[in-house]
Amino acid sequence: MQKVRSKVVLLWCERYNEDLIYEKIKYGIELLGGFKSIFKEGEKILLKPNNLTSATIEEAVTTHPAVFGAACRLVKDNNFEAFYGDSPSRENPVQSLRKNGFTEVANRYNVPLADFEHGKKIVFNDGKVCKSFDIVNAVFDTDAIISLSKMKTHAFTRITGAIKNQFGCVLGFNKGVFHVKYPDASQFSRMLVDLNRYLKPRLFIMDAIVAMEGNGPRSGKPRKVNCILISKDPVALDSVFCRIINLEPAFVATIRYGKQDGLGTFHENEIELLGDPLELFYCKDFDVERKPIVSKTKRSLNIFKKVKVNENHYPRIDETVCIKCGICVDSCPLEKKALSFKNGKNNIPVYDYSLCIRCFCCQENCPQKAIK
Ligand code: SF4
Ligand code: SF4
C-alpha cells in the first residue's frame, strides 16, 4: 500500500491585504481537507504568531498582522473560540504584541490574549534529547495550536520557520537556559523537535509574502517571496521553504531530526505539493548560509563529507552602528557572560570567544542590527 504523503499548499500572494489572505488560506485549508477535518467542534484554538521582538512591520521580523487577522477570522467563521499570544525572550509579551500590531487585530475579532507570562514545568518522557520543558499556560488553557510562522533566516539554526516558531511556547526567560543546555545547534534543533512532538500543533501557516534573508532572525533584509505556505506537517513545510530558497533541507538540523524523530518528512517523494507551482516562488539567490548544521559528534556522516563546516561563525559588533545600550550583554544566557562592557559602559561591548557558545541571542536581540 502506498504511504500517505504529507501535503504542503503553496499560494501566490503579493500583498498584505487581510481579505485577500483570508481567501487564500481558506482555500488552502480546503485543499488540506477543510478546517473541520483538523479541529473538533468545541475546541479552543491558540493562534501563535512569530512575535520575536518589537519591530516595525517593514523590517519583516514578525508574522504580519494581516496574516494573523486572516487566521483570526477563519477560526471565528468556523465558530471556534480563538486565543492568541507569543512569548519573546526578553520583552513583556503584552507590550510587544501591542507594539507589533497583534492586539489591535485581535480586539477587532474579539480574540482574547492567552497567558504567555506564566506556565509550568512538564515532563516529556518521549523526548529524544529533552524530557522537560517550562511551557506557558496558554498551551494548557487551549486544545489546539495553529502556528503562524514567518519565513526567515536564522544565524544559529540556519532558518526559522514552522518548527522553530513553537519555541515561543517556552516561558520567556527560560529560553536562554536551553541555549546553555544545548550549545550545539544540532542538539538545540533536536530539542525543538522534541518540543513540537510534545505540543503537536495541528496546523502550520507560514507568512512568506515578505520573508527575511541574510542576518536573521532580527537584523536581516526583507525579501519578497509572495508566498503563503500551509501544512499539517511542519517538517514538510520547512523543507519546501528550503527548496524555495535553494537550501538543501537535510542541512537544517530541525528538518533532519524532524524526520528522524517522527515529526514529519522532508523527502520529496513523500510530499504532495498543492496550490500554485513551486517554481513560481524560487529565490535561488536568497541570502542564506548553504552549509549544514552538523552535530560535533556526527561529523562523519557521509552526507556531509564533502562540505566544509564553518568553524569561524562568530558574532561580531559593527562599531559604527552600536549605541552601547547593553541589550546584547543582558541577552547572553551564560552565567559567565561571553560579552561584557570590559572596557567600561561608554565603550563597545567586547566578546570573549573562548566562552561564546555561538547561540546568537545577542545578535537576535540587538535593536540596532549592529551584530553580524
Ligand atoms: S545590543 Fe547592539 S547596539 Fe546595543 S550594545 Fe549590543 S551591539 Fe551595541
Ligand atoms: S556572546 Fe552572543 S553568541 Fe556568544 S554565548 Fe553570548 S549571546 Fe550567545
Provide the pLDDT for residue 306.
42
Q: For 309-372, CATH number?
A: 3.30.70.20
Q: How far does the centroid of ligand 2 lie from the alpha carbon of residue 332, in Å?
A: 5
Provide the pLDDT for residue 301.
40
Q: How far does the centroid of ligand 2 lie from the alpha carbon of residue 240, in Å?
A: 30
Say whether the peptide bond before residue 349 is cis (omega within 30 degrees of 0): no
Quote the distance between the C-alpha of residue 294 and its chain's center. Answer: 20
Cβ 347 vs Cβ 341: under 8 Å: yes
Tell me the pTM: 0.91
326: amino acid identity, one letter: G
Cell numbers 557572560: residue:
337
Cβ 100 vs Cβ 68: under 8 Å: no
Q: Which residue, 154, 186, 177, 199, is CA-closest to 52? A: 154
Check pLDDT > 50 for residue 201.
Answer: yes
Check pLDDT > 50 for residue 282.
Answer: yes
Q: Is residue 338 lining ligand 2, measured as CB closer than 6 Å?
A: yes
Determine the atom of ligand 1 nearest the C-alpha atom of 329.
Answer: 6
Say how far apart CA 55 and CA 294 lie, in whole Å: 31
Q: How far does the centroid of ligand 2 lie from the alpha carbon of residue 366, in Å?
A: 12
Q: Average model confidence (pLDDT) for the chain?
A: 93
In the structure, what pLDDT confidence band is assigned to residue 307 with cuts at 50, 70 and 90? very low
Q: Is residue 332 lining ligand 1, measured as CB closer than 6 Å?
A: no
Q: Which ligand is nearest to the CA of 313?
A: 2
Q: For 6-276, CATH number?
A: 3.40.50.11440
Determine the atom of ligand 2 nearest the C-alpha atom of 314.
Answer: 3
- Annotated domain spans of the chain: 6-276, 309-372
Across residues 102-119, what is the average pLDDT?
A: 97
Say how far apart CA 194 and CA 262 lie, in whole Å: 10
Say how far apart CA 298 and CA 186 lie, in whole Å: 9
Across residues 91-113, what is the average pLDDT?
A: 96
CA–CA distances in Å: residue 252 to residues 15, 153, 288, 344: 29, 11, 12, 39
CA–CA distances in Å: residue 191 to residues 49, 68, 130, 197, 359: 20, 27, 6, 10, 14
- The answer to whether domain 6-276 and domain 309-372 are alike in fold is no
